[in-house]
Chain A
C-alpha cells in the first residue's frame, strides 16, 4: 500500500526557515515524480513545486520561487522542502503528492504556521 507521511511542520516566525520531509513507502520511490502542494486554512489547493524521478528537473510556483527548495533522496525514499524567508501567507497545510500524470497519492499533510 502506498504511504506518504509528511513531517517537519510547526510554528515559525516571519522570516524564519523550516524543512519539511515526506517519507514514502509501499512503492518504488525512485520511479515516480513528486510534488509539494499546500492549502491555506479554509482555502483551496496550490501547487508549489515539482521534482523529477532523478531530481534533475525541478520547477516552482512563482509564489515560492527563490525562497523554497525541493529535493529528494531516493536511497532514503524521502522528499524534502526547504522553506526560507517564510511569510504569514505561507501558513498552510503542506502535502507531498506522488505524480503519475496526476496526483494519485497524497500524504496527510503537515501544518506550517508563520507568525508575524
Chain B
C-alpha cells in the first residue's frame, strides 16, 4: 500500500497570506496525484489532478506541483472560503487508491 503523509497537520494563516501544503508518498506515484478540499459537513471537492492541473472551475490561486514522492499544494492568497481540510490522493496504485490523512487550514 502506498502511504501518503501530509504536513503540517494544521496550518494557521490569515486571509491574504500564502499557504503551502505538503504531501509525501512512501514510493513514487509519478504524477498520479490529486488534491481535494473538504469543508465541514460537505463532500470533498477535486481541486488538482495529475499533480498540477486545476479541475474545472477551480480558481487560479490554487496550484499544484511535484512528481515522484514529493508534492505541494499552494494557495497564493488565502480567501476566507479557503479555510478547510485538504487531502491528497494517489492513483498510481489504481484501483487501490489511497488518501493522505489531511491538513487542516485554519484562520489565525
Contacts and interface: CB of A to CB of B under 8 A. Distances in A.
B43 A109 contact: yes
Given A102-B34, A102-B91, A107 B102 contact: no
B14 interface: no
A44 B55 contact: no
B101 A44 contact: yes
Given A44-B101, A106-B44, A59 B49 contact: no
Interface in A55-110: 59, 61, 95, 101-109
Question: Which of A46, A59, A95, A106 is packed against the most chain B CB atoms within 10 Å?
Answer: A106
B105 to A, nearest CB: 15
B64 interface: no
B13 to A, nearest CB: 21
A61 B87 contact: no
A33 to B, nearest CB: 9
B78 to A, nearest CB: 22
A44 B99 contact: yes
Contacts of B84: none
B63 interface: no
Contact of A45 (B55, B87, B96): B87
Contact of B43 (A46, A101, A108): A108
Nearest to A52: B95
Contacts of B50: 101
A95 B99 CA distance: 14
Interface string B52-96: 000100000000000000000000000000000001010100011
A108 B44 CA distance: 9
B95 A95 contact: no
B98 interface: yes
Nearest to B1: A62
A47 B101 contact: no
A50 interface: yes
6 contacts: A44-B87, A46-B99, A47-B99, A95-B44, A103-B36, A106-B45
| Among all A-B residue pairs, the 4 with the closest Cβ atoms | A106-B43, A59-B95, A45-B99, A50-B95
